[in-house]
Structure 1
Amino acid sequence: MKKRALFAGALAVPAAAGIWGAVIEPHLFAVRRHTLPILPAGAQSIKMLHVSDLHLAPWQRHRASWVKALTRLEPDVVVNTGDNLSADIVPEVLDVFDGLLDVPGVFVLGSNDFFSPKAKNPATYLRSPSEVKHRTEPDLDVRALIRGFEARDTPVGDTPNRDTPGQTRGWHFLDNAEASLTIRGTRIDFCGLGDSHIDCDRIRMNADAESRGPDALDYPRFDPDAGVKVGVTHAPYSRTLEALTSAGADLIMTGHTHGGQIRVPFWGAPVTNCDLDRTRARGLFPYRNALVEISAGLGFSPYSPVRFACRPEVSLLTLVPKD
């Protein structure tokens, strides 16, 4: 009898963990909050909402409803770091973000905004980052997604969190591009890089530069007069973090890792799906002279539909003046 009980217990524990990770935890959405003292002295505080890795599929109505309700947080600016799709459902994704498109924002794309996920052995993630580089032509309507997020044809009128009444709704596309927004009186310069997971980042070195630092880079670059300098990219590969910090970023915002997606309690993430150390799979940490904030994101591939000890999340960063 004792052997049977032990055998039953040995089966019950992984079964319960499987049910939790596949059925329960993927619906336990969370808002991770950070307060960052990076604004100029005397500036008004700014609430920055970071959304990443939605990976929306048609049947995921609970996730869609939760994200639509994020307007309740009343952010001043939105940063979307990509991987919004798990299928060719651009209208549904745009509907999810419709309310937040009235808030000033920026976005970059991830590999799953170009390419639909493919079935693969999840164990391969333990050996090396996933491979999508052999696929050259997007099979998702990424152009429609970009047009929808930019949404430049609809004026928003006197929306309270916009400094310029009558400015059109929508976000700025930052794949290897720049944008400047004035939020609550502070100028924020954003500089983005394309998804380095599929080699879409365009880091350009200055051949005439003799030393490291901002002068060594043609891109990314920041205006030194900006109140805050924010780098944005989908995947936190070390080369992108190095480039953005060398350019003078105060803050770098990224996603892609899913926080490890399946974390070991009291030990952490086994992988990051990039070349970043597994201990930096999510959260906030210093990197050279900048802060890096990695969102564990909201979703997963439909072929790996589980999260364990890693709740789906968005981040709400409250920027305050420096001490």
Structure 2
Amino acid sequence: MTVDSPRSANPWLIGLGAVGVAGLGCVAYGALVERNWFTVRYESLAILPKGSEPFRVLHLSDIHLNLGQRRKTEWLQRLAELKPDLVVNTGDNLTHPEAIDPLLDALKPLMQFPGVFVPGSNDYYAPRFKNPASYLAGPSQLSKKRNPLKLDTERMHAGFGARGWVNLTNRNQSMVLKGIRFDFSGVDDPHLKRERYAGWPKGTTDQDSSPHLKVAVAHAPYQRVLDHFTEDGADLLLAGHTHGGQLCIPGYGALVSNCDLPTWRAKGLNDWESGGRTTPVNVSGGIGTSRFAPIRFACRPEAVVLELHPK
């Protein structure tokens, strides 16, 4: 009796199968591992007035807190161990309408330190499901076809303010911290085109000649915003929004920035030049994700510590 030899498997099918398995593995890794693999990025800048003591800024952005996120909550609470001199929150704190109280609880240990904040779009409106591929076509937009689900922004901001954090939504404010005068100027979310420039705080007639640091704060780092603050003399600009690209290619980086910022600037500390001036800009890769896209790949969730030193 003869036995027929089995047919050779189609190499194309084998290849497609391998790609499919690898893709599923990447999705599982990004959803189950990396999105909860929190890290702290450290940067150093010599921008303080001469003779100043070193100063530590903790930059938080895009927390996107959902219900039941125990690991994220505990990690946020442990950040208080870094003992920052200032906390800067650049918005998009929520991804669920009922997450305001859990958010305030998660940030409570950090609210013993001075802080400032501006909102992002997901502090005003809850996210809705959308095709992830749409991000490749350009920055996301608020749907005009469906009524957006509004969040209780005022209650969240009141919770921040009750613990001493300063609201910089289209406002400016001066604060003296560790003997250094900080002049802050913040804007509402440029992604929603809500920014209105308040300029820098006005004080004494010799305020520009006395030692100080001008810090600009925004959620989304659109080029028009970076241009404005750079040309207006900012010494430092802090923003978020991009999620660092969220799904990145190892060795290449972000595919999108969800704004008009070049993708190679989607995360990190870089110099921005405009009008003959240069300002260091830190774009946070963010801490969370939308609850409808709970995955990160080659882009760990991060908080940023900026160690500031005298010039």
What is residue 215 of structure 1 aligned with on the other side? none
Given candidates 301, 306, 313, the residue that maps to 2:295 is: 306
CA distance in 2, matches of 1:75, 1:255: 19
What is residue 127 of structure 1 aligned with on the other side? 137
Contact 1:26 1:311 in 2 (8 A): yes
What is residue 232 of structure 1 aligned with on the other side? 217
**Letter paired with 1:265:** P
What is residue 274 of structure 1 aligned with on the other side? 259
Q: CA deviation at 1:12?
A: 2.4
State whether structure 2 residue 285 is matched by structure 1 residue 318. no
**Letter paired with 1:147:** A
Which residues of 2 match residues 197-212 of structure 1 at below 5 A?
197-203=191-197
- SS of corresponding position for 2:66: coil
What is residue 291 of structure 1 aligned with on the other side? 280
Contact 1:222 1:248 in 2 (8 A): no
- Give per-residue Cα distances to partners, 1:28-76, cap 9 Å, x unaligned: 1010000110001111000100000000000211111110111010101
- SS of corresponding position for 2:248: coil
CA distance in 2, matches of 1:7, 1:247: 54
What is residue 17 of structure 1 aligned with on the other side? 26
State whether structure 2 residue 160 is matched by structure 1 residue 149. yes
Contact 1:222 1:249 in 2 (8 A): no
State whether structure 2 residue 35 is matched by structure 1 residue 26. yes
Query: RMSD between aligned alpha carbons?
Result: 1.7
CA distance in 2, matches of 1:111, 1:226: 35
CA distance in 2, matches of 1:232, 1:91: 24
CA distance in 1, matches of 2:267, 2:307: 18
CA distance in 2, matches of 1:6, 1:239: 46
Q: CA deviation at 1:177?
A: 0.5
Mind listing any 5+ residue stretches in structure 1 that lack a counterpart?
Answer: 152-168, 204-218
**Letter paired with 1:234:** H
Mind listing any 5+ residue stretches in structure 2 that lack a counterpart?
Answer: 1-7, 203-207
**Letter paired with 1:235:** A
State whether structure 2 residue 164 is matched by structure 1 residue 170. yes
CA distance in 2, matches of 1:133, 1:47: 39
**Letter paired with 1:284:** L
What is residue 5 of structure 2 aligned with on the other side? none
Q: CA deviation at 1:246?
A: 1.4
CA distance in 1, matches of 2:223, 2:94: 25
- SS of corresponding position for 2:151: coil
What is residue 220 of structure 1 aligned with on the other side? 199
State whether structure 2 residue 175 is matched by structure 1 residue 181. yes
Contact 1:52 1:314 in 2 (8 A): yes
CA distance in 2, matches of 1:221, 1:61: 39
**Letter paired with 2:128:** K
Deviation >6 Å, runs of 4+: 135-138
**Letter paired with 2:79:** L
State whether structure 2 residue 71 is matched by structure 1 residue 62. yes
Q: CA deviation at 1:9?
A: 2.9
- SS of corresponding position for 2:91: coil
- SS of corresponding position for 2:254: coil
CA distance in 1, matches of 2:166, 2:14: 59
Contact 2:173 2:201 in 1 (8 A): no
Structure with higher Rg: it is 2
Gap change, CA 1:194 and 1:7, over 3 Å in 2: closer
Gap change, CA 1:182 and 1:112, over 3 Å in 2: same
CA distance in 1, matches of 2:183, 2:211: 6
What is residue 3 of structure 2 aligned with on the other side? none
State which drifts further: 23-32 or 224-233: 224-233
Gap change, CA 1:117 and 1:138, over 3 Å in 2: closer
